[in-house]
Amino acid sequence: MRLAKRVSGIDESVTLDITSKAKKMLKEGVDVVNFAAGEPDFDTPAHIKAAAIKAINEGFTKYTPSSGIQELKEAIAQKFKKDNSIDYSSSQIVVSSGAKHSIYNVFQTVCDEGDEVIIPSPYWLSYPAMVKLAGAKPVIVETNRDNDFKATKKELASKITKKTKCLVLNSPSNPTGSLYELEELKFIAGLAVKYRFFVISDEIYEKLVYDNKNHVSIASLGKEIYDLTITVNGVSKSYSMTGWRIGYAAGPTDVMKAVSNLQSHATSNPSSISQKAAQAALTQDQDCVSKMKVEFQKRRDLMVSRINRIKKISCINPKGAFYVFCDISELNEGSVMLSNALLDEAKVAVIPGEPFGQDSFVRLSFATGMDNIKKGMDRLEEWVNKNG
């Protein structure tokens, strides 16, 4: 056998697969409407780019401390205090090359062989893969659209065993956009405190919450849950900076010290230039974030209303992020087959729900302009009416 067991069970990310197929078609001149994107379509704001250019011109182009520069960690600590009412000191923060990297580091740091990690489904597809790479076992909690795709108290409690090491919370969620309310978070916090497991709270879509709803960080709910939570966030989605690769995690000092040690041997610091850009993003004008959110809400409203007027498919209103999780169960076709047919025949790219744990759904991203949404919805409607 050539490959290590560790990687042999890990497949290529299907979301990247469909996205690259759609991109290839676009490059070849095919008029594809792309609802597959996992990133905002807006440009990175000018003042953030300017901070990066300044860093380059000033020669800030060398190694930095591997867990990130002090000024950025302080900016992150301020952000946690102001936005999330959580007190983290800079020694509790590690900056990494994207939130994905932060989460990977955290699983590697807290999970031992045979540990169990509870993951509500549908889930961001990298969680189970990362859990397996850490030698642990993903324990999936099924949810359904009647519960807004949120894990019920009963279901969650039933999955806890002596081996439970952590629970992954992703609110707002990719792919469903669901948002956990305060009472639900209090219940989860109570379970974690009672049974002593970590909560890995992935808050990457925190800034994209609609209808005047509020995002709540579970670590803000009291000292006991604070001591068991690792909060993960980053600049990719909030500031349209996916390519810059800056994410961060914050949590108990001993855990974060170990994350920092791990990172120091694996990748060292994230890009020095991107760190300066992230510092500007977090400390300068936040208007760019609100403008993006207003635009996203308009697009969401259009996409949701158009989907729900098509016979045989439907969706609930996502409370956050920039995805609509669309129910295709009445079409009697698996999500991978359907996504391929939609791309080939209707020239609309969507992501199958199967790798997210729900095969009777597809994910549509509204990180694209209104005209594109109209065009794509016309095509989807026509295709479903003909083939459904």
Ligand X SMILES: Cc1ncc(COP(=O)(O)O)c(C=O)c1O
100 lies in the site for ligand X, by CB under 6 A: yes
Q: How far is the CB of 309 from ligand X (least distance, A)?
A: 28
- The phi, psi pair for 307, rounded to 5°, reads -60, -45
Orientation of helix 70-84 relative to helix 272-283, angle to 10°: 30
Q: How far is the CB of 102 from ligand X (least distance, A)?
A: 8
Nearer to ligand X, 156 or 204 (CB): 204
Candidates 177, 234, 318, 352; binder of ligand X (CB under 6 A) is: 234
Q: How far is the CB of 162 from ligand X (least distance, A)?
A: 28
99 lies in the site for ligand X, by CB under 6 A: yes
Q: How far is the CB of 332 from ligand X (least distance, A)?
A: 29
How many residues at the interface with ligand X, by CB under 6 A?
A: 13
Q: Are 287 and 294 in contact (CB under 8 A)?
A: no
Residue 223 DSSP SS3: helix
Minimal CB distance to ligand X: which residue?
Answer: 98
Q: How far is the CB of 211 from ligand X (least distance, A)?
A: 20
Contacts of 59 (CB under 8 A, 6+ apart): none
Tell the residue number behind the tokens 């397996």, with chain if given. 132
CA distance 321 to 363: 12
Nearer to ligand X, 356 or 383 (CB): 356
Q: How far is the CB of 322 from ligand X (least distance, A)?
A: 10
Q: How far is the CB of 303 from ligand X (least distance, A)?
A: 18
CA distance 214 to 181: 8
Q: How far is the CB of 200 from ligand X (least distance, A)?
A: 10
The total number of residues shown for the chain amounts to 388
Nearer to ligand X, 269 or 384 (CB): 269
Q: Which segment (41-49, 94-102, 254-262, 265-273) binds ligand X by CB under 6 A? A: 94-102
CA distance 127 to 68: 24
Nearer to ligand X, 175 or 376 (CB): 175
206 lies in the site for ligand X, by CB under 6 A: no
Q: Are 237 and 205 in contact (CB under 8 A)?
A: yes
Residue 115 DSSP SS3: coil
Residues 32-51 that bind ligand X (CB under 6 A): 38
Nearer to ligand X, 235 or 326 (CB): 235
Residues 321-380 that bind ligand X (CB under 6 A): none
Hey, what are 376's tokens?
A: 């794509």
Nearer to ligand X, 288 or 310 (CB): 288
Residues 103-162 that bind ligand X (CB under 6 A): 124
Residue 234 DSSP SS3: strand
Q: Which segment (92-100, 133-141, 356-364, 369-377) binds ligand X by CB under 6 A? A: 92-100
Residues 167-186 that bind ligand X (CB under 6 A): 170, 174
- The phi, psi pair for 9, rounded to 5°, reads -95, 5
Q: How far is the CB of 21 from ligand X (least distance, A)?
A: 18
Residue 218's CB is within 10 A of a number of other CB atoms, namely: 28
Nearer to ligand X, 245 or 347 (CB): 245
Residue 98 DSSP SS3: coil
Q: Where are the beta strands (DSSP E) in the chain?
A: 33-34, 93-96, 116-121, 137-142, 164-170, 198-202, 229-234, 247-250, 314-315, 323-327, 348-349, 351-352, 361-365
CA distance 162 to 108: 19
Q: Interface with ligand X by CB under 6 A: which residues?
A: 38, 98-100, 124, 170, 174, 202, 204, 234, 236, 242, 247
